[in-house]
Structures are given as structure tokens and as C-alpha cells.
């Protein structure tokens, strides 16, 4: 991809995404009924989805954010994941729901699940806006998924290419 990137068609409109957020928010509220829940968003990509989903969860919740990036993910399931901004809340004995933009190889997510378990979370689940299962090299699977996408480089609604396009109010892709 060069500087003359071509933005493709709209895959999901804001209206479709909010409709899905309503459904998942209701499901999460039901599944964790009577429990407290910590939502952990992965910066920066998940911020738009985090804002949508948190408003639709009617539970006693706290939120936090983490910045994690993975290296070597193309070649190995044990790609190194670096955490450059950590979660500040105490996770001991708490239900954690990771709010992700997209699950691709799954390397980042696998490591985050391990890490929150090491921090003694009572449970760790994942709510991803997008799932790209064709690229998975780990056996992680989001418990709550907005939409599945084909093997395209998707952008918008928080997702970037080279830090751009995060502000698009819909999900599109870059023409291959």
C-alpha cells in the first residue's frame, strides 16, 4: 500500500454497527447479571467501539485501557507482545471483558488474556467489533463479535492504516 491508497466500499455503516452494539450490550448485560464487570479497551483502535458498547451495558462497571503491540505475528504464535500503557485497576477476583477493534492473528489477544489471568482476574472474555478468522494463527476466539470480515485490510471506526482513517464513521477497507 502506498500513499495513493484507495478506500473501498462501505462494509458496515454506523447504523448497522449501533444496531449490533444494542444486541451485544443486551447480551452482555444478561450474561453478567448481578456481577461487576471491568471493561478494558485496547488503544487506540477500540475507542469508538468501546464508547458504543459501554453505554449499552447496564451493569456495575469500571473501565480502563491498555496499549499493546505485537511483533513477529506473521511468523509465530508466540510473537512478542509489548505493553506500553498498562491497566491501572486492580483485577484480582474481577470479571474482565476485553474490548477489541479486530482480532486478526489473535497473538495480541492471546497474550492479553494470559496477562489478565496472571493478574488474577476471575474471568477474562473478549468483545471484538470485527473478527477476521481466516488470519488466525492462535486458537483464541472472541466471545462476543460484532461482525466477521474477509481477509481485507479494514479501516475506519477506530481502525487505522498508518494512523489514518480512524475517524471514518463507518468501516471500509483499502483496495488491495
Active site residues: 104
Site string for ligand IMP, 71-90 (x = CB under 6 A): --x-----------------
| In the complex, minimum distance from the CB of residue 107 to Mg ion, in angstroms, rounded to a whole number | 11
Q: How far apart are the first and last CA of the chain?
A: 8
Give yes or no for residue 105 binding ligand IMP (CB under 6 A): yes
Which 3-62 residues touch Mg ion, going by CB under 5 A? 42, 45
The 3-state DSSP class for residue 55 equals coil
| In the complex, minimum distance from the CB of residue 82 to ligand IMP, in angstroms, rounded to a whole number | 12
Which is nearer to Mg ion, 45 or 79 (by Cβ)?
45
For 1, residues 6+ apart whose C-beta sits below 8 A from its C-beta are 153, 161, 174
Backbone angles phi, psi at 80, to 5 degrees: -75, 130
Stretch that binds ligand IMP, among 5-13, 21-29, 88-96, 101-109 (CB under 6 A): 101-109
Longest CA–CA separation in the chain, Å: 51
Give yes or no for residue 112 binding ligand IMP (CB under 6 A): no
- How crowded is residue 75: how many other Cβ atoms within 10 Å of its Cβ? 10
For 32, residues 6+ apart whose C-beta sits below 8 A from its C-beta are 59, 95
Backbone angles phi, psi at 37, to 5 degrees: -140, 135
| In the complex, minimum distance from the CB of residue 159 to Mg ion, in angstroms, rounded to a whole number | 8
Give yes or no for residue 156 binding ligand IMP (CB under 6 A): no
- Residues in contact with ligand IMP by CB under 6 A are 42, 45, 70, 73, 100-109, 153-154, 159
Amino acid at each position: 500500500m502506498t500513499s495513493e491508497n484507495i478506500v473501498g466500499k462501505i462494509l458496515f455503516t454506523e447504523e448497522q454497527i449501533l444496531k449490533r452494539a444494542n444486541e451485544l450490550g443486551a447480551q452482555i448485560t444478561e450474561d453478567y447479571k448481578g456481577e461487576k464487570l471491568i471493561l478494558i479497551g485496547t488503544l487506540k483502535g477500540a475507542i469508538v467501539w468501546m464508547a458504543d458498547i459501554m453505554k449499552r451495558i447496564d451493569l456495575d462497571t469500571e473501565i480502563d485501557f491498555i496499549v499493546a503491540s505485537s511483533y513477529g505475528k506473521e511468523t509465530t504464535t508466540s510473537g512478542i507482545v509489548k505493553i506500553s500503557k498498562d491497566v491501572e485497576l486492580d483485577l484480582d477476583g474481577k470479571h474482565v471483558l476485553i474490548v477489541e477493534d479486530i482480532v486478526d492473528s489473535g497473538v495480541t489477544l492471546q497474550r492479553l488474556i494470559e496477562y489478565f489471568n496472571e493478574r488474577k482476574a476471575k474471568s477474562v472474555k473478549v468483545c471484538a467489533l470485527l473478527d477476521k478468522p481466516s488470519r488466525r494463527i492462535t486458537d483464541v476466539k472472541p466471545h462476543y463479535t460484532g461482525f466477521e470480515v474477509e481477509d481485507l485490510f479494514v479501516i475506519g471506526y477506530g481502525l487505522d492504516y498508518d494512523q489514518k482513517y480512524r475517524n471514518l464513521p463507518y468501516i471500509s477497507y483499502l483496495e488491495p
